[in-house]
Amino acid sequence: LQAEAKKSGRPWDASKAFDQSAPLAAIHPGALPDPAAPIALRVNGEVRQTGRLDDMIWNPDEILAKARELWDVRAGDLIFTGTPEGVGPVVPGDRVEATIGGLPSLSFTVAAR
């Protein structure tokens, strides 16, 4: 979707948010790992993205503070951020696993559109 939008000169928004496009894992209060915790994304067992939380432009506290300036942030709200370099497409049938050091991993299989 993103490649199609880029090619047509359209905004990428539709490739970032569509039905069933936000897989989530359990988040526990106070469970935020070390600021230097490793983060990784694997597709079919192959590492596609890797980095550390402190590689991100803003840390989680800064992101939350900015979000609170802009919106009424409440318990249960979700804030989506960027990712480390290495973004690439996935296709139906791909098995995706995301990890942040010290937290339970998130894994899912990409479904057909």
27-50 per-position pLDDT tens digit: 666 766 787 889 999 999 999 999
The Cα–Cα gap between 90 and 110 comes to 7
Q: What is the DSSP letter of 17?
A: S
pLDDT single digits (tens) 55-103:
888 887 888 899 999 999 998 888 888 777 888 888 999 999 999 887 8
Neighbours of 100 (CB within 10 A): 19
> Would you say 50 and 38 are in contact if contact means Cβ atoms under 8 Å apart?
yes
Nearest to 87 by CA among 44, 28, 57, 43: 43
In the chain, the N- to C-terminal Cα span, in Å, equals 11
**Under CATH, which number does the domain 27-109 receive?**
3.90.850.10
